[in-house]
Amino acid sequence: MADGMIDVLSEKRALAEKRAYETPLEELNPAWASAFRDDAHWAYFERLRREDPVHWTPESNYGPFWSITKYNDIMAVDTNHEVFSSANGIALPPKANLTPEMLKALNRASAPSFIGMDPPRHDEQRKTVSPALAPAGLERMAPQIRERAGLILDSLPIGEPFDWVDLVSKELTTMTLATLFDFPFEERRKLTHWSDAMTTAPGHGPVATFQERMATLADCRDYFMRLWNARVNAEPAGDLISMLAHAPQTRNLTMDEYFSNVALLIIGGNDTTRNTISGSIFALNRSPDQYDKLRANPDLIPSMVSETIRWQTPLAHMSRTATQDFEMGGKTTKKGDKVVMWYVSGNRDDSVITDPERYNIERERPRQHLSFGFGIHRCVGNRLAELQLQIIWEEILARFPEVRVIREPQRTHSAFVKGYETLPVIIPSRN
């Protein structure tokens, strides 16, 4: 660990470990947002992988659900969209915290985006946006991402502590997203604000109350409606909004459906990549031998990027709903059951990944991980995420001998988005 980095959470982790092993198995619920915030969730999954890899939680804040915790079982669920449907939600919904009025408001506000659809509608809508995120589109974007990465890094203070999440991770991913949407550049931080408001519970992020969250979403919706109206009346262009407004498969979407796809792209393009950028700094500080190897050999950047995506697992889970009874690991998931694929656990499954606790930037098969999912919903932005990481690290190594973490990061209070609210660092000097 880097000098001065103090693990203030070790007591909480020890307590969580005790609870994970002392709770009767039939009552065990691994979906604790607070455990994720305290980096204390590991023991729950370690126990489940060993003792009950396909596990039923009969009662929780999220209702009853199955936990799939081993790599190959997760792959089997993710690649079987006929049995495991995305149409009734793709993440655990914290419904128990909401009043009936709040639930009604939320349902009104949320039409499905294509991540929450099954074929054929899913495939049609995915096809509309995928060209912007395919290699040719990315090649066009790369010089701009590099230029922006350089500007961000050149503006950082030297020898003074600052928050890496705020000044680098958020800035780079928001700039990239603004480019993809052709969003007014000077207002790009709105995208970060909206994304954070959508993914964190009121009181644990930028909005304090449920009402404030709904108002923030309404602002976001109005803004993107104005962009749609402008683009639909202009010539087709290469940005995502223009593509949605002109493509035959999506030009007749209702405004609710359009907004859901926008929200999907805002969240997909923001949090995940942001948390991987922060995760790479944190992981390399925790494993200084790996940081030394990277400095000595920048050709290791691509495998370091993939290893960070595995190690971090920016989305802890995705969930599905069973359309029929299905046998797995000696258990039967019943039609209508919620089935949660814990990528965060599968990525630590030592029956598939050698020494999975170790952060190792020289793995033989670094892209062997579950973090992007598999099957028809496999992350459509995965190459863009890797490209941003690749570029920012080439530019970091060209400028700074070290980015040093000076305190334990503050983690996100969520069992879905696995990331960092703050990561205090110092850059002692330039090259």
Residue ranges in contact with ligand HEM by CB under 6 A = 78, 114-115, 126, 264-265, 268-269, 272-273, 276, 309, 314-315, 318, 371-375, 377-381, 384-385
- Cβ proximity to ligand HEM, 20 vs 129, nearer residue: 129
Q: How far is the CB of 263 from ligand HEM (least distance, A)?
A: 10
Task: Say which residues have a Cβ less than 8 Å from residue 271's Cβ, sequence separation at least 6.
Answer: 195, 196, 199, 314, 417, 419
- Cβ proximity to ligand HEM, 47 vs 274, nearer residue: 274
**325 close to 333: Cβ distance less than 8 angstroms:** yes
How many other C-beta atoms lie within 10 A of the C-beta of residue 335?
Answer: 11
- Cβ proximity to ligand HEM, 363 vs 377, nearer residue: 377
Q: How far is the CB of 31 from ligand HEM (least distance, A)?
A: 16
DSSP structure string for 153-182: HHTS-SSS-EEHIIIIIHHHHHHHHHHHHT
Phi, psi of 82 (to 5 degrees): -70, -40
Phi, psi of 425 (to 5 degrees): -135, 170
**Per-residue DSSP letter, 334:** P
The rounded distance, in Å, linking the Cα atoms of 48 and 397 is 40
DSSP structure string for 44-96: HHHHHHHH-SEEEE-S-TT-SEEEE-SHHHHHHHHT-TTTEESTT-SS---GG
- Cβ proximity to ligand HEM, 200 vs 270, nearer residue: 270
Q: How far is the CB of 176 from ligand HEM (least distance, A)?
A: 8
- Cβ proximity to ligand HEM, 377 vs 404, nearer residue: 377
Q: How far is the CB of 339 from ligand HEM (least distance, A)?
A: 12
Q: How far is the CB of 269 from ligand HEM (least distance, A)?
A: 3
Residue 34 in tokens:
């607070």
Q: How far is the CB of 208 from ligand HEM (least distance, A)?
A: 28
Closest among 252, 224, 273 to 391, alpha carbons compared: 273
Q: How far is the CB of 362 from ligand HEM (least distance, A)?
A: 20
H or E, element range at 209: none
- Cβ proximity to ligand HEM, 340 vs 427, nearer residue: 340
Residue 47 in tokens:
């126990």
Residue 347 in tokens:
């990525």
Q: How far is the CB of 78 from ligand HEM (least distance, A)?
A: 5
Task: Say which residues have a Cβ less than 8 Å from residue 401's Cβ, sequence separation at least 6.
Answer: 295, 428, 429, 431
Q: How far is the CB of 261 from ligand HEM (least distance, A)?
A: 8
H or E, element range at 32: none
H or E, element range at 342: strand 338-342
- Cβ proximity to ligand HEM, 276 vs 404, nearer residue: 276
- Cβ proximity to ligand HEM, 30 vs 419, nearer residue: 419
The rounded distance, in Å, linking the Cα atoms of 201 and 98 is 11
- Cβ proximity to ligand HEM, 41 vs 377, nearer residue: 377
Q: How far is the CB of 120 from ligand HEM (least distance, A)?
A: 13
- Cβ proximity to ligand HEM, 169 vs 273, nearer residue: 273
